[in-house]
Structure 1
Amino acid sequence: MVEIVSALSRKEMRDIQKWLQSPAHNQRQDVIRLFDYLVKNTGREEGLDNAEKEEAWSAVFPDQPYDDAYMRQVMYFLLKSIEEYLAFTEFTGDKVQYQLGLIRIYRKRKLEKAYKQAHRLGSDSLEKQPLRNGYYLLNKFFLEQEEHEHRMAITQNAPANLQEAADAFEKWFLEERLRISKDMLAHHRIYQKISYNHGLLEEALLYANRNKMLEEPAIAVYYYTYMALINPSEEEYFEKLEHYIHNHMECFDPSEVRTLYLAALNYCAAKVNQGHLDYCRKALKFYRQGLDTAILIENNQITRYLFSNAVAFAMKIGEFDWAESFIESYQQYLEEKHRNGTVNFSLSRLYFEKGDYDKAQRYLVEFEYDDMLQNIVAKTMLLKIYYEQDELDAFESLLESLRIYLRRKEALDPARKAAYKNLISLMKKLLHLNPYSKAQTERLRQLVETTNPLMERDWLLRQLEGRR
Structure 2
Amino acid sequence: MKPSKNYKLYQIIQTLDKKEVRQIKRVLQSPFFVLRNDVGNLFEVLIKYHLKGKPFPKKEVVFQKTFPNKKYDYVLLRGTMSDLFELIEEYFLIKKRRDGELKTRHLLAEIYRERKLSKAYQSVVKKTTTILEKQPLRNEFYFRQLLDFQLEKMEFEMSNQRTKNFNLAKVSETIDIVFLVQKLKHTCTQFTHQQVFKTDYDFGLLPHLLPIIEQEKYLNIPAIAIYYYCYRFLTGSDGDVFFEKFKAVLFQNKKLFNGHELKELYLFAINFCIRKLNQGDKKFSYEILELYKDGLQANYFLENGILSRFTFNNIVAAGIVTEDFDWAENFIETYAEKIELKYRNQTVSFNLARLEYTRKNYGAAMLHLQNAEYKDLVNNLIAKTILIKIYYELEEYDSLFSHLDSFQIFIRRREVSDFHRKNYMNIIRLVKKLVELPELDKEMRQQLRKEIEKEKVLTEREWLLSKT
Q: Indicate the TM-score class for this superposition, using the shorter chain for normalisation.
A: 0.7 to 0.9
Q: Is there any run of 5+ residues in structure 2 with no aligned partner, and where?
A: 1-8
Cα distance, 1:368 vs structure 2:
5.7
Cα distance, 1:82 vs structure 2:
2.2
Cα distance, 1:131 vs structure 2:
2.0
% same residue: 34
Aligned counterpart, 2:327: 322
Q: Which amino acid is 1:308 matched to? A: N
Cα distance, 1:108 vs structure 2:
2.4
Question: Does the aligned pair in 2 maintain the 1:403–1:421 contact within 8 Å?
Answer: no
Question: Does the aligned pair in 2 maintain the 1:274–1:453 contact within 8 Å?
Answer: no
Aligned counterpart, 1:96: 102
Aligned counterpart, 1:5: 13
Aligned counterpart, 1:241: 246
Question: Does the aligned pair in 1 maintain the 2:39–2:83 contact within 8 Å?
Answer: yes
Aligned counterpart, 2:311: 306
Aligned counterpart, 1:219: 224
Cα distance, 1:189 vs structure 2:
2.2
Correspondence 1:160 to 2:163: no
Q: Which amino acid is 1:37 matched to? A: V
Question: Does the aligned pair in 2 maintain the 1:177–1:201 contact within 8 Å?
Answer: yes
Structure 1 96/195 Cα, relative in aligned 2: closer, same or farther at 3 Å?
same
Question: Does the aligned pair in 1 maintain the 2:140–2:181 contact within 8 Å?
Answer: yes
The number of residues matched between the two structures is 458
1:354-433 correspondence runs (5 A): 354-364=359-369, 369-391=374-396, 405=411, 411=417
* Selected match of 1:257 from 254, 262, 284: 262
Moved more, 117-126 or 156-165: 156-165
Q: Quote the Cα distance in structure 2 between the aligned partners of 1:101 and 1:72.
A: 34
Per-residue deviation, residues 95-139 of structure 1 (Å, max 9, x unmatched): 110111112122223332222222222222122222222111111
Question: Does the aligned pair in 2 maintain the 1:258–1:295 contact within 8 Å?
Answer: yes
* Selected match of 2:30 from 22, 33, 41: 22
| Corresponding residue SS for 2:306 | coil
Q: Quote the Cα distance in structure 1 between the aligned partners of 2:230 and 2:425.
A: 30
Correspondence 1:335 to 2:340: yes
Q: Is there any run of 5+ residues in structure 1 with no aligned partner, and where?
A: none
Cα distance, 1:353 vs structure 2:
1.0
TM-score by length of 1: 0.84
Q: Which amino acid is 2:33 matched to? A: H
Moved more, 398-407 or 194-203: 398-407
Question: Does the aligned pair in 2 maintain the 1:3–1:47 contact within 8 Å?
Answer: no
Q: Which amino acid is 1:111 matched to? A: L
Structure 1 449/183 Cα, relative in aligned 2: closer, same or farther at 3 Å?
same
* Selected match of 2:137 from 131, 152, 155: 131
Q: Quote the Cα distance in structure 2 between the aligned partners of 1:167 and 1:100.
A: 20
Moved more, 177-186 or 22-31: 22-31
Structure 1 237/460 Cα, relative in aligned 2: closer, same or farther at 3 Å?
farther
Structure 1 402/242 Cα, relative in aligned 2: closer, same or farther at 3 Å?
farther
Structure 1 32/371 Cα, relative in aligned 2: closer, same or farther at 3 Å?
closer
Correspondence 1:116 to 2:122: yes
Aligned counterpart, 1:283: 288
Q: Quote the Cα distance in structure 1 between the aligned partners of 2:323 and 2:412.
A: 29
Q: Which amino acid is 1:215 matched to? A: N
Per-residue deviation, residues 58-80 of structure 1 (Å, max 9, x unmatched): xxx33333333223333232222
Q: Quote the Cα distance in structure 2 between the aligned partners of 1:145 and 1:106.
A: 15
Q: Quote the Cα distance in structure 2 between the aligned partners of 1:264 and 1:299.
A: 23
| Corresponding residue SS for 1:41 | helix
Q: Quote the Cα distance in structure 2 between the aligned partners of 1:221 and 1:50.
A: 54
Q: Quote the Cα distance in structure 1 between the aligned partners of 2:460 and 2:238.
A: 21
Structure 1 450/208 Cα, relative in aligned 2: closer, same or farther at 3 Å?
farther
Question: Does the aligned pair in 2 maintain the 1:403–1:424 contact within 8 Å?
Answer: no
TM-score by length of 2: 0.84
CA RMSD of aligned residues (A): 3.5
Per-residue deviation, residues 255-293 of structure 1 (Å, max 9, x unmatched): 222222222222232333334333333322222332233
Question: Does the aligned pair in 2 maintain the 1:6–1:45 contact within 8 Å?
Answer: no
Aligned counterpart, 1:295: 300
Q: Which amino acid is 1:349 matched to? A: R
